[in-house]
Every structure is written in structure tokens, then in C-alpha cells.
A and B are shown apart, each in its own frame.
Chain A
Amino acid sequence: MKRVLLIFFLFSQFIILTGCSQLMRNRTEIDRIFNTRIIGIDKLEENKILFTITTKAGATNSQNSQEGAKASEILVTEGATVFEASRNMQQYAHKKPHYGHTEFVLFGEDTAKEGILPYLDFISRNLEFRYNAKIYIIRGDKANSFISRVNTGNLFLADKLSLMEDNAYAQSKTSKVTLSEALYIYSKKNVSTFLPVITIAPTMVGESQSEGNYDLIFKDYAIFRKDKLEDYLGDELSIGVNFVTNRIQSGIILIDAKDKKKVSMEIIESKTSIKPYMDENGLKCTINVKFNTNVAETLSKQDIFTEDGFQFLEHQQEAQVKKEIEKVLSYAQEKNMDFFGILTKFRIKYPMMKDELDEKWNELFPEIKFEVKVDSNVNRTYLIKDAATTQ
């Protein structure tokens, strides 16, 4: 009996001493919470925040799952801070917002220009958030407007975004940036970053626009000076960023054969290593890129599948990739924005100099001598030696 009492006493102490009373207050039935899938944050003019959350309609109210009903449920509120806005939501929402299933955090363009770091503080402190949630910048629009306009079809917006971002690898013009990556970058001094961009465009039916319907375009990166949106990179520079930061999963390299006809190369594998070093002339950095391609399509009438032909193709694709990388490096140096994390590489290589590097990085980065080495290999021709155009 003494032992039972002792165990009971210990058990009660576990609860009292560890602050479990708070945990007990958080007891909520799963059908009584608003399982947020997307968060949109916009800054309003009067120093207020427009906070938008959305979830699948069927998941919150069975009546909404009827045919023809809206696919989603959207809650919008305002507040001086994100936390206040979140709590204000409970004034009128029938369910308690829960952020454990937040997959996407969207920032409107105007908000991004003024800086997104203040809003990430709430997200990083709240224990419900998953750190693999993805961050996107809505180009030319507010996050609230984007959610309201696009979230109209039968397919819920979060499901659509999830499917689309899985397909976006094909061109390597964008990639996912998770909350943990963004928070890590923003915690560093003198580091810039890039975040993927979603652009909204009217759906085209034939040559005219379909009213009220919009397509989402997943491409391009927005670059940030500290936490403020500076510029959009465009297609070519975005591919360059992906090469430098080792984010290439697939992609197309369009090159000319010897007869100036187009050959499409499909990137099937790519690996990049950044090797920083310093000598008496200053900081230097070698970027080694090694990638493999397949011949996806050829319009050339020449036989390109010879030893010489392969060497020519490899040389062509290496030249193109090198050009893209050099272009984005020179753009970054020109803007003096290290969004590749080169500083981190130097800090790791020279830990004793990390404070000096941190302090003088803005002067050092534009002066770094980059050397780009590209090596490639053409793997497969899919057993078709002759191009269709030669027959």
C-alpha cells in the first residue's frame, strides 16, 4: 500500500512540477479545432496585420461537404501582431485555430518588401507549427486576396499547392524552402536569402480569359536583403541559384547541335560542391558542378550519337550551365547579396575568422573570385540513334 501511495504521489508531482496543468487545459477534441492548412500574412496600412487562415471545408463542418458547397473555409482577422490577430479570431470563429497542420505560409508582396522577420517570430515560438511548412511569396498580390481568389474550385488550395510544388521540380526554376531553412537563414548575420514565388494568372480559355478562374505559376525566386524583398530573379537566374545551392532535381538544357538545330537535354542528376579558400590575393571560391543528362529530344539532322557528337553535346551543356551560374554569381556580387550561403561555407572552413568574416562580409563578398568548374555526362539516348527528323 505504501508503494502504491508513493507511486501516486510521484505521479501527482510529475503533473504539478512540470506544468502539466497547462497541458490539461489544452485538451481539445479533434473535431472541435480549426485545422489550419494555409496561413496568409499581409501588412495593412495602419500598422495592422491581416491574418488569413484556411482549411478544407469538409473537415470542419459536415454540412459544407455537400455537393456544390465551397471546398474551403476561410477565417480572416486583424491585429497589431500575428498573435493578437490569431487570438482575435477566436472572437468569432466557432472552432479554435490549430496550426499543427499548417503546410504553407504565404506572404503578400507588399509585406515581403517591408520585412517578414517580425511575423516569423510568432511562428517560431508557437509549438504547434511544423518546421517543414513551406514559405511562399505571392507576386503582385496580397496573401489574403490570393487565398480568396484562388480557393474557389473543387480542389482545396492547399491540396493544389502541394500537388503543384511536387511537379515544379521538372524545370528547376523554383524549389521548396521550409520554415526551418528560412528561420536558420534569418538567424544569421549579413546573410540574404531567396524564397520561392507563386504568381497568379487568369486562366486562358482559347485566347480569352476565363472569368473568375485563375492559374498558379510556380517559378522564380524572390531574393531578400536581410528580411526585405529586394527583387525577383527571373527564370535563368533562378536555375543558376538552384545549381549553386544544389537544389537541381531535374530540368531542361536547350543546346544547339553542330547544324544549329535544337537538342533538349534532360537533367537527371546534379551535384554541386562549394570549396572556399583564401590566399594572399583574398577570398576565393571554387564551385564544382557535376551533372548527368539524357537526350530528351533532338531536331538535328546530323548523327549526334557519336563520340565526337557526345563530346560536343557535353561541351555545349557545360558551357550553358557555367554561363547561368556565372551570371547569377555576378548578379549577387553586383547586388552585394549573399543568398547562396557562401559566408557559412567560409565560417566552417575558417572558424577562427568567423567574427571578422561576419563583420566585413559586405566588403568581402563582392570581391570574392569565383571559379566555376562544370563537368557533365550524357547518359542515355533511349536507344534511338537516329533523330526522327533525319528519316
Chain B
Amino acid sequence: MYKFSTKGKANDAVFEETFDYAELELSLTNIKEILGSNSDFNHRQIFIANNKHLEVSFIYIDGMVNSQLISDYVIKPLMQADQFEKCKCEADVINLIDEGTVYFSGIKKRTNINDVMSDILTGSATVLFEKCSLAFTFETKGFDKRPVSEPASENVLKGAKDAFNETLRVNTATCRRKIKSPNLVIEEITVGRQTKTAIAVCYMKNIANDNLVKELKKRLENLSVDNILTSGYLEEAIIDDKASAFPQIQYTERPDRFCTSVLDGRVGLIIDGLPIAYIAPGTLLQFVQAPEDYSQHFLISSTIRYMRFTSLFVTLLLPSFYISITTFHQEMIPTELTFSIVAAKQGVPFPMFVEVLLMLIAFELLVEAGLRLPQTIGQTVSIVGALVVGQAAVEAKLLSPATVIIVATTAITSFTMPNQDLSNALRFWRFGLAIASSIIGMYGLTVGLFILVYQWCRMDSFGIPYLSPFIGDEEIQLQDSLFRLPFSTMKHRPNSLHAKNKRLMK
């Protein structure tokens, strides 16, 4: 069952479209009216084949076009090609361009000022035939691009080292290079009233479920935001459960991971201007899986993945469990450990809950400070914060060493999460569970955990249960869940995706 909420749909009366000039005539005056005040707006008059009677306007945005390309392949043929010498009027020139006299692959014929504006603003050079109210736009994009580099947040040990960058076309080309199949469909949808950001919807037409593709496209088309300059706008608008802190679509900066998901039957989104791509739908399992799981021997991968699952619960529950057993259920602690904790706690003025809370907040502040500062200073902050201040706090009896160890273990285990969004959600819930534990101990922790599991159970992403394959009739995918069994056992695509072609291998 697919759900789509129309809540929060933009009120057209308030958010008026600011990019609609359809009523204006396609003329240089109008274009100048719209863009003329910009310093990077350029226009010049050129004469076709040096014929003073055939004057056309040449328009472009400086810095967004490749000047060399314009000079050699647009202006030069228009002014020097022999074929244009016989032209008497603009209509003859238009006919010749239509017939391919100008050797240029990315050429579009436009009669609408809206289309012309859109092309100019995306880096095309425009030749305007004012008398005929017609323009040709040449795709001469020439702005600087960041080269394809290694992923910054998803480290690769064994695997492709390329990562997505900010240029949509480079990213789609990277995918094409990895999936050389005519079934790979890359459709573009423009979103953002002001930014007109292109979003590429990628899927395998012989595998992906049509309903899933249709639903995703529908949500994108209904998206009514001003800009898609950051990922949050898109993410928040297309997920099902907006109140949940847990991620419901997966992001990646690795094209190999993206392509694997597309081949599984999921739908990918590549956004122009963002070096990450999204994969929908997202389930909890996906956020705990790492691409390296499929690069190593299955025994190693299974062990590491199981350890990662354990880490998920450790980072979520350890502080609250520690508060519970040291404040309410002291009999649960091994005797010798009790005496060690008590010895370490001597002289510390704060209750255990306050100690843990202070440490958790300090840890969050350190993470935040490390993110905001330049990389080199960031490391210094970590060292000063964690080692110097931490040790000083213990020596000054503000905190007990046992609490420091607990919070440090929590922090380390949180870093094993392959997905930062999942890690952030766990951080949020960790605080909630710690507070519940401080009120009624293990009972509070159990109730908190019950609410969390309830939320997981009721969540779905594009109709697929969030806890899939652990719930429902998904025995097929269990080979790739808590453990990663050999590839020879994974003969089918995930059942929950309802792919057209379920069989992955013979």
C-alpha cells in the first residue's frame, strides 16, 4: 500500500510562481528587461555571414559558458560558413540551422521565452531571431566542475574509489558506465521554484516495481519548495513518517552502492548540485549494511555485520542500562565490578544520571565542534576535549572514570554505524532512554525500548515495512540480514520490493 500525505502542500496564493514569463513576447528587450541588470549578463549583435541585413542577438551568462566552444562552434560557422551567404532573411538562416549547418550536438529550437530563460540560466548560449520570435539555444555549459574524487564519508577499502560530485551529468554518466544496460532509465524532474534543480530518477525498467517509481515521481512532482540546495528539503518532503528521527531513505556518495541498490529494484535519485544520491525505499537493515560487507569473505562480513548490530544496541542502550543498574538494580552488577564502580564514584558530587548526561552532552559538543572547525583544528579540539578536559574532570572528581568509560564505549560504537543519519537518530533516542531509566530504572528502559520498537514496527518507507526483512514474509532476504551468507544462497531480490524480476541469479 502506497501512502502519500498532501499535508504541507504549498499554498499557491502565498507562494506565487516567480519564474513565469509565458505571456511575454520572445524579444531581446524582454530578455534584457528580465536579466539585463545582472553584471554577468552578456549580449551582442552578430551579422550572419557578415550580411548587415541579417542581424541576430547572441545572449549568454558569463562564467557559465565555454567561450572557446561558443567562438569555434557557434559564432564562427554563423559568420563564416559559405552556406549562410545565400540567405536572404532570418527564415532562411533558421532553415539552414534546422538542417544542421551548424555542427553542434546540443542545439534546441525555442519559441517560448520561459524555455529560453531556463536554457540561458543553465549555461546555454542563445541565438535570438527577433523578427521570427524564435531562438536557438546551444548547450555550451562551461562552468568549473569538481573532479571525481574519493568518497569523504564512506571510506572504501576494497572497491571503487569514485564518488558522486555536484554535477548531475557526471553522476548519471558514472552510473551509465557501471550499468551498461538499456533498461537503466534516467528520467529528469525539475524541482524548486527558484533554483529549478534537476533531479534524475534512476531505475531499472525491467526490475523496479512500477508503483514504486510512479509514487516517487509523484512525490517529487508535488514537491513545492523554493530550493533544493540542501538535501533536507527533498528528504523531508518525500519520506512517509516525518516525525521519526530514523532515516527512511538512504543517501550515499558511492556510485557502486547506488547502482547495486538500483539493480536490486530500488529507485535512485541524483540531485544536481549535491554530491550525494538517494535510494528509496530505505529500511533499518539497509542503514546497518555497509558496501564492504560484499567485498569480503562471507564469514568475515557476517562477523562484522553482527558486531555492527550489537554496536547499534550498545550505543543506544549502554548509558541508560548503566544508569539503571547503578541507581536501581545494583544487585545485577557482578560483585567485584560493583566495588570497582563504587571506588571510582567516591567523592563525585553528581548523581549517576547527571554524570552520564553531562558526559553525553560533552561528547555531542565535541562532535559538533569537530564538524564546524577546519579539519586540522578539529583534531586538536578532540584531543583537548577528550583527553585533557576528560582526564582533568576525572582527577577533579567531577566525573567518575567508570562513567567516562561507558560514554566512550557508547561513542565508539556509534561510530561503527555506516549511516550518519541512523547514528544521529540513535543519539536522539539515547538521551530519551537515559532519562526514562533515571526515573524508574530498567522498567523505564524497557518501556522506552518498547515505544522505539513500536515506532519501528509501524513505520514504512514507500509501502515497505521499516523492519523488513525481520518482519513480514521476507524469509528470502534473511540470508542477507544479521549475517551475510555466501552469494550462492542469495538467488532472489528482496521480496518486499515486489520487483518485476525477482530472480537475482540462476
Contact = CB atoms under 8 A, between A and B. Distances in A.
Interface of A: 7, 11, 14-15, 18, 20, 23-24, 26-31, 33, 35, 37, 56, 58-60, 62, 65, 98-101, 103, 128, 130
B343 A58 contact: yes
Contacts of A130: 331
B274 interface: no
B326 A30 contact: yes
A58 B352 CA distance: 19
Interface string B321-346: 00000111011110100110111011
B392 interface: no
A152 B13 CA distance: 87
Top 3 A-B residue pairs of the complex, sorted by shortest distance between their CB atoms: A100-B331, A62-B346, A59-B339
Interface string B252-272: 000000000000000000000
Contacts of A15: 440, 443
Nearest to A14: B447
B10 interface: no
Contacts of A30: 326-327, 330, 333, 338, 341-342, 345, 352
Contacts of A62: 343, 346-347
Nearest to A130: B331
A152 B328 CA distance: 32
Given A29-B352, A56-B339, A59-B342, A128 B327 contact: no
Nearest to A21: B440
23 contacts: A11-B451, A14-B443, A15-B443, A28-B327, A29-B326, A29-B327, A29-B351, A30-B330, A30-B345, A31-B342, A31-B345, A33-B330, A35-B330, A35-B335, A35-B339, A58-B343, A62-B347, A65-B343, A98-B331, A100-B330, A100-B332, A101-B330, A130-B331
A269 B168 CA distance: 74
Contacts of B123: none
B339 A58 contact: yes
A20 B440 contact: yes
Contacts of A99: 331
B439 interface: yes
A11 B352 contact: no
A18 B333 CA distance: 24
B441 interface: yes
Size category of the B interface is 20 to 34
A11 B447 contact: yes
Interface in B438-467: 439-441, 443, 447, 451
Given A11-B447, A98-B331, A31 B346 contact: yes
Nearest to B341: A30
Contacts, number: 73
Contacts of B447: 11, 14
A37 B335 contact: yes
Interface string B16-40: 0000000000000000000000000
Nearest to B447: A14
Contacts of B441: 23, 27
A24 B440 contact: yes
Given A100-B331, A101-B331, A130-B331, 5 more contacts: A23-B443, A27-B328, A30-B333, A30-B338, A30-B352
A20 B342 CA distance: 26
B344 to A, nearest CB: 9
Contacts of A98: 330-331
A122 B342 CA distance: 27
Nearest to A60: B342
Interface in B200-229: none
Contacts of B451: 7, 11
Contacts of B331: 98-101, 128, 130
Interface in B39-82: none
A255 B451 CA distance: 68
B330 A24 contact: no
B79 to A, nearest CB: 68
A375 to B, nearest CB: 41
B337 to A, nearest CB: 10
Nearest to A61: B346
Contacts of B345: 29-31
Nearest to B442: A23
B363 to A, nearest CB: 22
A60 B345 CA distance: 10
B338 to A, nearest CB: 6
A24 B437 CA distance: 10
A65 B351 CA distance: 22
